[in-house]
Amino acid sequence: MKEVKAIVHEDVFKNLKRSKKKSENFTLFYKVRDFQNSKKKEPDEDKSRQINVGFILPKKIVKKSSTRNLIKRWGRELARRNLTYTHILLSIRTLPRYNSNCAKKSLYSELRHLVND
């Protein structure tokens, strides 16, 4: 099972700014896993399964805490399922109105396509 940890070091944030993907509402900063080095013998196999995840969800954009928690939950679950990244930083740009279940599903599918593609 993959372990998801928070990004805490400032130098990691600086390195993540180099590679990013954008969608209509989200920006994803990432670091790709090096598969060539992961095939070699590593003394600590837990580090190969570890994914560091960070979120930038300002209260000015996402006012309700339940919505912020929902987006964090979605991001952590998508990070666990993905094998290509070691570091993920998810930032929200705008939050559309999503009062219906259809709008929630479209927001989740946008996030899923951003992380999985």
> Which domains are seen in the chain, by residue range?
18-35+45-116 (3.30.230.10)
pLDDT at 38 over 80: no
For residue 112, give the H/E element and its range: helix 101-116
Give the pLDDT score at 12: 74
Give the pLDDT score at 69: 95
Positive or negative, the Cα torsion across 114, 7, 47, 68?
negative
Give the strand order in the sheet containing 3-6: 3-6, 50-56, 85-92, 26-32, 20-22
Give the pLDDT score at 55: 93
Kindly state the average pLDDT of the residues 35-55: 65
What's the whole-number average pLDDT of the chain? Answer: 82
Give the pLDDT score at 72: 94
Residue 26: helix, strand or coil by DSSP?
strand
Hey, which residues does 33 pair with through a beta bridge?
Answer: none
Instruction: Write down the pTM of the prediction.
Output: 0.78
Hey, which residues does 85 pair with through a beta bridge?
Answer: 32
Task: Burial-class residue 114 by CB neighbours within 10 Å (0-12, 13-18, 19+).
Answer: buried
pLDDT at 31 over 70: yes
pLDDT at 73 over 80: yes
Provide the 8-state DSSP code for 23.
-
